[in-house]
Amino acid sequence: MELLPAIDLLDGGVVRLAKGAYDRVTRYPGAPADVARAWQDQGATRLHIVDLAAARDGASAQASIVADIVRSVSIPCQVAGGVRDVGRAHALLDAGVDRVVMGTALVRTPDSAGPIVDALGTHRLVAAIDVRGGAAVGDGWTPDAASVPALGLVAALRAAGVSLFAVTAIDRDGLLEGPDLGLLAAAADVAGGADQVIASAGVSTLEDVRTLAHAGYAAAILGRALYEGRLSLPDALAVVGA
């Protein structure tokens, strides 16, 4: 299982939100590119970068920061936030991003998945399944966000050729309460297996990492636990045998 340190960007800096709420922000020191290099130096093999302003607004002034992070490291980066059409996805891929993560566009128009897969290639696309109350939501998880039944969306996207799903339990995001194993297992059943799922939200202990690895998930995204020293990336990598 791959471990992906998250670099969430807001107002030009590295942050974490609690349950996706933009008024519950924790800010962390260090320039984003320096933070990225630090995770690479500790053994990360891929980074998960989120432009939170773009996720909320659909457009962002942080594109240059994302590009700077990608240039600053030699490991692959997947980027989420505001990737709502093929043009934006191609712009990121042309800038050196390895994979793009799309959520809002797929929530709003699931039928667009097939053409998007055809345009990008299945290995370049991750579908963000951000779940609140059984529904997959987009638009930066804001209160009036577009939403559809989560497992139904996974099934539709899988049928359209999507092969990798980042599944996030919004109510656990940034709270260090452990992953939602029931949600992840249900998503894996519909997605075609745990190896099609990236586990996100709540991962905070080595036991959490061990549980997810044992279940066979493709990857786990690590956030607040890393930034606050509750989880060591080298120790977590040792658990998964990386």
Q: What is the pTM of this model?
A: 0.95
- Structural domains in the chain, sorted by start: 2-240 (3.20.20.70)
Verify whether residue 180 is a known catalytic residue. no
pLDDT attached to residue 17: 86
Q: How many CB atoms are located within 10 Å of the residue 183 CB? A: 21
The pLDDT of residue 96 is above 90: yes
Mean of the per-residue pLDDT values of the chain:
94
Q: Identify the weakest region by mean pLDDT among 30-44, 90-104, 141-155.
A: 141-155
Verify whether residue 144 is a known catalytic residue. no
The pLDDT of residue 173 is above 90: no
The pLDDT of residue 56 is above 80: yes
Helices (H), the chain: 32-41, 52-57, 63-72, 86-94, 104-108, 113-120, 150-159, 181-191, 206-215, 224-227, 233-240
Catalytic entry in 8, 139, 180, 208? 8
DSSP state of 87: H
The pLDDT of residue 141 is above 80: no
Catalytic entry in 85, 98, 118, 130? 130
Identify the band that residue 88 occupies on the pLDDT scale cut at 50, 70 and 90.
very high
Q: What is the mean pLDDT of residues 35-39?
A: 98
